[in-house]
Amino acid sequence: MNKVMLIAGKELRSYLTSPMAYIITCIFLLISGVFFVLYLTATKYADTSIQGFIEPLSVFGLSNIGNVFLPLFASILTMRLLSEEKKIGTWELLLTSPVKDTEVILGKFLGSLGILVCMLVLTMYFPLMLAIFGQPDMGPIWTSYLGLFLIGSSALAVGTFTSSITTNQIIAAVVSGGILFALWFVGMVSNVLPTAIANVFSYISLSSHFSNFSVGIIDTKDIIYYLSVTALFLYAAIRSLETSRWN
Tens digits of residue pLDDT in 64-80:
555 677 888 888 888 87
Q: How confident is the model at residue 228 (pLDDT cuts 50, 70, 90)?
A: very high
Q: How many residues does the chain have?
A: 247
Q: How confident is the model at residue 242 (pLDDT cuts 50, 70, 90)?
A: confident
Q: What was the pLDDT predicted at 62?
A: 47
Q: What was the pLDDT predicted at 70?
A: 80
Rounded distance, CA 29 to CA 153, Å? 18
The per-residue pLDDT for range 96-145, each reduced to its tens digit, is: 677 787 888 888 899 889 999 998 898 888 888 888 877 777 888 888 88
- Reduced DSSP (H G I as helix, E B as strand, rest coil) percent helix, strand, coil of the chain, to 5: 80, 0, 20
Between 22-26, 163-167, 233-237, the lowest mean confidence (pLDDT) is in 163-167
Rounded distance, CA 225 to CA 205, Å? 10
Q: How many CB atoms lie within 10 A of CB 190?
A: 19
Residue 151 has pLDDT above 80, yes or no: yes
